[in-house]
Structures are given as C-alpha cells and as structure tokens.
Amino acid sequence: MISDAITYPIEGEQTAEILVIGGVLSLVSGLLAAAITFIGALTLGLGFILLPLAFVPLLGILGYYVRILESTVSGRPEPPAFDDIGGAFKDGLFAAAIGVVYYLIPGVLFVVVALFGGLLGGALGNEGGAIGGVLVFLGGGIAILLTIALTYVYPAALTRYGVTDNVGAAFSFSDLAETILSVDYLVAWLFGFVILAVGGAISGAISLIPLLGWIVAPVVQFLFAMMAYRAFGLAYNAGNSGISAGPETTAA
C-alpha cells in the first residue's frame, strides 16, 4: 500500500496536466484569499462577504479527490483525468456539504457549552465561573474527541459518496461500520494522514521561497494530497469486504 500510494501520482500519462490543473486551482485560491484579506483590512464587512470566494477553486480540487477515491475503489491503478471541471466542482460542493454536516455536531456542542458556561459564570459569580469553566473543559474535550472520530469516518463517507454518487450514502453508518471498524482501514487511514502532514510541512517550507516557492508549493501540496486520497481509497477497500479490489488496490 505504501509504495502504491507514493507512486500513484506519476502513474499514467496525464501526470503533468493533472498537477498543473490542481496547482493552478490551489494557487488561485491562495491569491483570492490574500486579496480578500487585504480588502478585509480596509473594509471588514466587504472582506467577510467575499471570503467564501477564496474557497470556490478548492471545490474543484476536493471534487477531484472524490474521483481518486472512486477510481481507487474501482480498481484503476492510475489517477483519473482532470477533464470534467464542472463535474469536479459539483462533487466538491457535495463533499464540502458532507463535511459541514459531519463537523456541525462538535462545532455546535462547543459553542453551546461555551455560551452556557459564560452565562453561568455571569449569573452566579465566582462559583458559577468555576462550574462554567469545568463545563467548558468537559464539553470542549468531548467536542475534540467527536472531531477526531468524525475525521476518522469522513474519508470512508466521502468514498461511499464517490462510489454511489449518493449524498445520503455518506451518512449510512450501518454501511460504513464494516469499513471503519477494520484494523486495515485504521492503518491505511493513519498512513494517509501522515502523508498529508509530511506534504504540508514540505509545501510550507517551499512556500517560504519568494515568488517561485509560492508557485511550486501548491503543486507539491496537491501531489501529496493525491497520495493521501489514494491511501484513503485503499483504506476503504481494505476495510470493506463487499468491494472487489484488483491486485493494484490491495492494502497489503
């Protein structure tokens, strides 16, 4: 699995084209974020309104990651073509919506606990503040644990969406249970996040190089993300005996 994921981006004949498209979308997102941040420094309200625009190019990238997951589960050894940009943005939008729903519960929990703890402290003084602090600590801890658990499930849910083209399938925990409870899935999932961490560190270091680094870093980050999502797809195959995987997509 390790060698498969690492060499995955260079399989096939469209590697350069795929990396250029992914890198350009990442670069455009970064440039938009920088421009909007500058505008926000001048006019906070306008910057806040325009901020979502910086994430639009990332939807195309996220949609392509969904294609990697689906392609991996289907048993194809090479990355899918990055040609249907409209379809990629559609898949990215649904994938982002799935992520929002997944992380909504711990987010709401933390906000509610923090507000309740603050109100309790304001109403009861020092004693209430102490109780509120404990509630915030416990509630925050539960929210963090939920976030970690949902981060573990999310790649499998995203793969399920990519395979079925059905958003509801991403929330069918009975169908996901066999996958996420597999030790093979756990190992492959951990490897995928190690790849993301390494890629983030390397691209972050490259981005410190003026001009050239700002162009190269998004491509490097996209390259490592392709490896990671390949690993997540392999993780889904490894944890789901109901999916038939070819010899190229086994986790062993």
- Evaluated on CA atoms 160, 162, 163, 166, the torsion sign reads positive
Look at residue 229 in the predicted model and tell me its pLDDT.
Answer: 92
What is residue 244's predicted lDDT score, i.e. its pLDDT? 38
**Residue 56, pLDDT score:** 85
Which pLDDT belongs to residue 252?
Answer: 32
- Does this model's pTM top 0.85? My answer is no
Structure tokens at 144: 């963090």
Distances (CA, A) of 211 to 36, 120, 208, 246: 19, 51, 9, 43
pLDDT in tens, the chain (252 residues): 777 888 888 887 788 888 888 888 888 887 887 777 777 666 766 666 777 777 888 899 999 999 999 999 988 888 998 888 888 899 999 999 999 999 888 888 888 877 776 666 556 556 556 766 777 777 778 888 989 999 999 999 999 999 998 898 899 888 888 888 888 888 888 888 899 999 989 988 998 888 888 888 888 889 999 999 999 898 888 777 544 333 333 333
* Helix, strand or coil, per DSSP, at residue 227: helix
Coil, strand or helix: which one is 121?
A: helix
Buried b (16+ CB within 10 A) or exposed e, 159-196: bbbbbeeeeebbbeeebbeebbebebbebbbebbeebb
Q: What pLDDT score does 112 carry? A: 80
Burial 202-216 (b: 16+ CB within 10 A, else e): ebeebbeeeeeebeb
| Cβ-proximal residues to 59 (8 Å cutoff; 6+ apart), any chain | 88, 89, 92, 93, 96
Count, residues in the chain: 252
Q: For residue 84, report the phi and psi dihedrals to the nearest 5 degrees.
A: -85, 80
HSE-CB of 116 using CA atoms within 13 angstroms: 14
**CB 64 within 8 Å of CB 22:** yes
The pLDDT, as a whole number, for residue 110 is 80
For residue 116, give the H/E element and its range: helix 85-164
Residue 74: CB atoms within 10 A of its CB come to 17
